[in-house]
Amino acid sequence: MQAGTTIFEHMSGLACAHGAINLGQGFPDFGWPQSVLQAAADAALTGHNQYPPMRGTPELRAAVAAFYGRRQGLALAPEQVVVTSGGTEALAASIFAIVQPGDEVIILGPAYDAYAPLVARAGGVAVLVPLAPPDWQLAPGALAAAITPRTRAIMVNTPHNPCASLAGPAMRAELAAVAAAHDLIVISDEVWEEVIAPGTSHASLLAEPGLAGRVIKIGSAGKLLALTGWKVGWVVADSALAERVAQSHQFLTFTTATPLQAAVAHGLGLPDAWFEAARARLAQARDRLVTRLQGDGWVVLPSAGSYFVLVDLPASGVEMADMDFCEAAVRQAGVAAIPLSAFTGGREAGGTRFIRLCFAKQDAVLDAGADALARARQLA
Ligand code: PMP
């Protein structure tokens, strides 16, 4: 299978080449804890550099279980945690553990761009069930209508990238009812779980009544600690499912960087106040960008989770297709954004109404990005 180059790589490359402000790829330019960087350095300098256990260091597995107990009320044992090389490897290990050739996997779309290629690589068939704007919830009955005797699993993403929505109570209940009725596994990508409104709590599908024993929950230190380049992630699931994912993981990357595991274990133990302050800082960045964009006449969709907001081009008076607008914006106006069509089946699919912007940036970068978007509007 030829997957091509991802839109993130493409747009970040163009942003570099044209000296553009990069509101495309989702990485923050602030917010990581200094003590976690120090813990990584200390671990490397004090001899924590050889292969760790395949399922992750005991310290990190215990820290993940404790973190979810404290922040989400989940009762987990360290044995239920498998450490992976980022959320991406957690997705791959989970899909390869569950999906057999010919199995159908429900993908709720728009969807994170790795899902469909990984399902195809496992020999499975991705079956798209659409989520519609502005709230991106399941239409009642749509999920049940897509189930066939070959359906094996459902991929869920909450908070959602790129739509910045949360799976609400009705959607979670419907997922649980359909998964239980048809004996399906739910692969729940929750990497954005901490990037939500200050003072709220994340509703994990692992806690959904009716889904016991069916959920593989995926997390990422990249998002939790604002260190996206570290690529430390994990799955948590009941012990039998976790064992299956571990067997798949052992022939993907086998293990994950030892000193980074030590540092992430330290980071997950930071006080709740640190995580709350991180949320508040991101909400401030989001509000700064959204206020500025709205002032310039852009129509922005609500953003409840993740680093992203979607802008509706035609509602904002721009008639270009999303991909054409993003190409023109980065080359001629100096700002990179991501077309939503990257999450709906590829750049060739004819385009969507939306572009995705990352707000996890310093104020000056957000202001310069908004200035450049105003210039891009003149090109349309
Ligand atoms: N899932 C989603 C929904 C994501 O947005 C991302 C990263 N952008 C990942 C998984 C991958 O996480 P990681 O960088 O830890 O591999």
Check: CB of residue 244 under 8 Å from CB of residue 214: no
User: How many angstroms does the Cα of residue 117 sit away from the middle of ligand 1?
Assistant: 14
Residue type, 173: A
Q: Which of 220, 306, 358 to mutate to test the pocket of ligand 1 (most atoms within 8 A of CB)?
A: 220
Considering only CA atoms, give the Rg of the chain: 20
Q: What is the pLDDT of residue 115?
A: 97
User: How many angstroms does the Cα of residue 112 sit away from the middle of ligand 1?
Assistant: 8
Question: How does the average pLDDT of the chain come out, rounded?
Answer: 95
Residue carrying structure tokens 């908070």 = 159
Question: What size, in residues, is the chain?
Answer: 380
Residue 180: count other Cβ atoms within 10 Å of its Cβ.
16
Q: What is the pLDDT of residue 5?
A: 80
**Mind listing the pLDDT tens digit for each residue in 165-220?**
999 999 999 999 999 999 999 999 999 999 999 999 999 999 999 999 999 999 99
Q: What would the two tokens of residue 245 be?
A: 């994912």
User: How many angstroms does the Cα of residue 378 sit away from the middle of ligand 1?
Assistant: 33
**Preceding peptide of 134 cis, ω within 30°:** yes
Instruction: Burial-class residue 183 by CB neighbours within 10 Å (0-12, 13-18, 19+).
Output: exposed
Query: What sign has the CA pseudo-torsion 31, 35, 41, 47?
Result: negative
Does position 4 have pLDDT exceeding 90, yes or no? no
Q: Pick the more confident residue, 5 or 113.
A: 113
26 lines ligand 1 (CB under 6 A): yes
Rounded Cα distance between 344 and 219, Å, is 23
Q: What is the pLDDT of residue 298?
A: 98
HEC profile of 151-183: EEEEEEECCCCCCCCCCCHHHHHHHHHHHHHCC
Does position 2 have pLDDT exceeding 70, yes or no? no
Average of pLDDT values for 69-98?
A: 98
Query: What sign has the CA pseudo-torsion 275, 281, 287, 293?
Result: negative
Q: Is 199 left (phi over 0), alpha (psi -120 to 50) or beta?
A: left
Residues facing residue 129 across a β-bridge:
108
Q: What is the pLDDT of residue 3?
A: 59
Does position 1 have pLDDT exceeding 50, yes or no? no
Does position 348 have pLDDT exceeding 80, yes or no? no
Q: What would the two tokens of residue 82 be?
A: 């498998």
pTM for the full predicted model: 0.96
Q: What is the pLDDT of residue 68?
A: 98
User: How many angstroms does the Cα of residue 217 sit away from the middle of ligand 1?
Assistant: 13
HEC profile of the chain: CCCCCCHHHHHHHHHHHCCCEECCCCCCCCCCCHHHHHHHHHHHHCCCCCCCCCCCCHHHHHHHHHHHHHHHCCCCCHHHEEEECHHHHHHHHHHHHHCCCCCEEEEEECCCCCHHHHHHHCCCEEEEEEEECCCCEECCCHHHHHCCCCEEEEEEECCCCCCCCCCCHHHHHHHHHHHHHCCCEEEEECCCCCCECCCCCCCCHHHCCCCCCCEEEEEEHHHHCCCHHHCCEEEECCHHHHHHHHHHHCCCCCCCCHHHHHHHHHHHCCCHHHHHHHHHHHHHHHHHHHHHHHHCCCEECCCCECCEEEEECHHHCCCCCHHHHHHHHHHHHCEECEEHHHHCCCHHHCCCCEEEEECCCCHHHHHHHHHHHHHHHHHC
Check: CB of residue 339 under 8 Å from CB of residue 322: yes
Average of pLDDT values for 35-51?
A: 98
Q: What is the pLDDT of residue 8?
A: 85
Does position 350 have pLDDT exceeding 90, yes or no? no
255 lines ligand 1 (CB under 6 A): no
Q: Measuring CA to CA, which residue among 308, 337, 108 is closest to residue 192? A: 308
Q: What would the two tokens of residue 124 be?
A: 């499975």
193 lines ligand 1 (CB under 6 A): no
Check: CB of residue 159 under 8 Å from CB of residue 188: no
189 lines ligand 1 (CB under 6 A): yes
Check: CB of residue 213 under 8 Å from CB of residue 241: yes
Check: CB of residue 355 under 8 Å from CB of residue 311: yes
Rounded Cα distance between 345 and 219, Å, is 24
Q: What are phi and psi of 354, to 5 degrees?
A: -120, 150
Does position 370 have pLDDT exceeding 80, yes or no? yes
